Amino acid sequence: MQTISLLMFSRNENEGIIRNVKLLKDVVDEIVVIDSSDPEKYKQLKNSLKSVNIKLFRTLPLGHLEPLFYYGINKTSSQYILKIDADEEPSRELIEKMNERNFLYNVYDVLWKDENGKLLGYKEALLFAKDSIKKITGTIHALPEFNEKSKKFSQEVFIVHHEKPTRSSVNKNYMEIESYERPMKVYLNYLKKRRGWFIGCPLSFTYSLSRPLNIYLTGFGLGCVRSMFDIILHGRSSYNRISFTIKYSINAIKFFDSLPKKEQKLRTEIAKEIEECGGIIKYLGLDKDCIVENLTKTFKWDIPGIEVFRKLILYRHFHKKPAYSFPY
């Protein structure tokens, strides 16, 4: 019989985690929660889930959950992984699909709707088989790469996204992370390699034009490219999602352009190192459980996740090796 692990990552989002645990505890074979919450929130979550058989792992915050993908997946023991965020809720139809345990494919996308039933797009790789994973880079907003293309559940199956009032295309923490992991010059080279010169070259030419117009033109072009591949891969998208993607791309370029030239050069060098290493997970040594756990053990919970990320990145760059204990 096919087995399923529910995998969730949490950062001060107890309500959503508890809701999904209650909904799915009798449906899946195991529940794994990777929690990076502040001490008081972690204590509350732990107490709230005492009566439920779950695996709760404590990890230091990193400003985004993707660098902890490998660690979280490594803690599961089932054939399939159902990855749901704390601000998402499975529909009744999705829960029924999990109960049926009749998965013909290894990777599934599912319709993604807001609380009013409006289509937002597709939630990529909501359910996937562990042995179908090809590569996990840990790059912000990037999913694992799989050995095969994803399939879609039927149209009546969906997941609800509970919108956060603070959601914005100008999340400064995300822009900071993007500036280390995907500065424009490095990302354009990536596009040339992976998507072809017909995409990378026009964007590179636009980016080389005089500021500030090139920032908006390149950001608009990059946002359209990302949206185009979303439509190609998933068959459809929504105006809100396309608009958000374009604004996000423009803001990421604007943020990087606002940095001093010396800082731009440093972050571009770091991004190249990350790419050559195969992603942020390997760059920081987060593919080793002992490093994740010792960093967490030696962390004092006294600085925000974005600062944690920056310190680990800079330590790795200047010392040429990942930090084993937190570098205060």
* Residues in CB range of 78: below 8 A, 6 or more apart: 3, 4, 5, 28, 29, 30, 130
Rounded CA separation 140/280 (Å) = 9
Residue 69's nearest CA partner among 321, 317, 282 is 282
The residue that leads in pLDDT, 322 or 237, is 322
Taking only the tens place, the pLDDT of each residue in 28-77 is 999 999 999 999 999 999 999 998 999 999 999 999 999 999 999 999 99
Burial class, 102, CB count within 10 angstroms (exposed 0-12 / middle 13-18 / buried 19+): exposed
> Interior CA angle at 124 toward 118 and 125, to 5°?
135
Residue 223's nearest CA partner among 259, 187, 256 is 187
**What pTM, to 2 d.p., does this model score?**
0.90
Where is average pLDDT lowest: 66-80, 171-185, 301-315?
Answer: 171-185
- pLDDT number for residue 71: 98
Q: What is the mean pLDDT of residues 316-321?
A: 98
Banded model confidence at residue 225, pLDDT cuts 50, 70, 90: confident
Q: What are the structure tokens assigned to 68, written together?
A: 């902890």
Banded model confidence at residue 226, pLDDT cuts 50, 70, 90: confident
Q: Which amino acid is at 199?
A: I
Banded model confidence at residue 239, pLDDT cuts 50, 70, 90: low
| CB-based contact 106:134 (threshold 8 Å) | no
CB count within 10 Å of CB 206 equals 19
Q: For domain 4-161, give the CATH superfamily.
A: Spore Coat Polysaccharide Biosynthesis Protein SpsA; Chain A (3.90.550.10)
How is the chain split into domains, by residue range?
A: 4-161, 172-276
Rounded CA separation 328/317 (Å) = 15
